[in-house]
Structure 1
Amino acid sequence: MQKGFTLIELMIVVAIISILAAIAIPAYQDYIARAQVSEAMILSSQYKIAISQTYSQSSSCPTLAELGLSSPTAASGKYVGSVDIATPTGAICAVELTFKSSGISQGLQGKHLAIALISQTANLGSANWRCSSTDIKQKYLPKSCIGI
């Protein structure tokens, strides 16, 4: 009667664990990056409200000072390094978030995410928000940003 495992059985177990780790680790890193992008989306929500209110009252994009920020780095999070306001082409106003360059997933380091207020010409007086990024891979962006 045999007690214990043979060498080949142990090698097979190690090979199976290695294959599972090779699949699981990249998937986990993608999951972490998506969670870090969600922090940016949550951080932007307070500025989206302020921008909507300012635009509805004055038909203009607010400045950082009007949002209560002394500089772009005055508003930051664990993964977001700065928040800025811009008026990109085709948009009324946008919240531009820049991720930190360290302590964050490699695919997001120093990258930018813009959440823009877009006018709806078919529905006068209404507008909607659209997010986009030119340097963040689509797989890290929330479903509301993918394909835009």
Structure 2
Amino acid sequence: MAQKGFSLLELLIVVTIVGILAAVAIPAYSDFVTRTKLSEIFLLLDKAATAASEYHSIHESGFPSDIGLIQPAGTQRYGPIEVISANQREGSYGIRNLKNFPPPVLNRHLYIRITYDPATGYSKSWDTDLPHKFHPRE
């Protein structure tokens, strides 16, 4: 009589392999989703920085201290974009407590700083307490 189906050992091997793959794939997928969400914030903050630089170049009185002047649409999902500091030479804008993220990123901060130097122009830098693997590219 010919054997039909799988033996218990074969099924256990398949379940073990699937378990190992899931143990590797699920954390990698979670990091991928987190990076995707963060890239949306990086883009929004970069747009705010560009708007702040344009405001500064037109008004020459300093970087805007009213977030309404530079805030791009769709910024409330992960926390409100706020003015961290603004003066004649520098403006910092960002989210003080990130929300809707998994624990490694939840309640961390992410700021973009725009600095104006009359000799070299505008430069941008990031300030964050995110884990290193989630830092924005400079």
Name the TM-score, length of structure 2 as normaliser: 0.81
* Conservation of the 8 A alpha-carbon contact between 1:98 and 1:113: yes
Q: Determine what percentage of the aligned residue pairs are the same residue.
A: 29
Q: Tell me, which stretches of 5 or more residues in structure 1 are unaligned?
A: none
Secondary structure at the aligned position of 2:124 is classed as strand
* Conservation of the 8 A alpha-carbon contact between 1:34 and 1:141: no
* Cα distance in 2 for residues equivalent to 1:13 and 1:75: 45
Q: Tell me, which stretches of 5 or more residues in structure 2 are unaligned?
A: none
Structure 1 residues 65 and 93: CA distance shift in structure 2, 3 A: closer
CA-CA distance at 1:127 after TM superposition: 1.5
The equivalent residue for 1:106 is 103
Alignment of 1:1-148 (within 5 A): 1-57=2-58, 58-64=60-66, 67=69, 76-78=75-77, 80-87=78-85, 92-101=90-99, 103-119=100-116, 124-133=119-128, 135-142=129-136, 144-145=137-138
* Conservation of the 8 A alpha-carbon contact between 1:55 and 1:62: yes
Aligned length: 133
Secondary structure at the aligned position of 2:79 is classed as strand
* Cα distance in 2 for residues equivalent to 1:36 and 1:50: 22
* Conservation of the 8 A alpha-carbon contact between 2:51 and 2:70: no
Amino acid of the structure 2 residue aligned with 1:98:
R
Structure 1 residues 28 and 34: CA distance shift in structure 2, 3 A: same
* Cα distance in 1 for residues equivalent to 2:123 and 2:98: 27
* Conservation of the 8 A alpha-carbon contact between 2:48 and 2:70: no
Question: Deviation per CA, 1:80-113, whole angstroms, max 9, x where unpaired?
Answer: 211112338xx71111123543x32222212110
Amino acid of the structure 1 residue aligned with 2:121:
S
RMSD (CA atoms): 2.5
* Cα distance in 2 for residues equivalent to 1:65 and 1:21: 43
Question: Deviation per CA, 1:5-45, whole angstroms, max 9, x where unpaired?
Answer: 11000000000000000000110111111111112112223
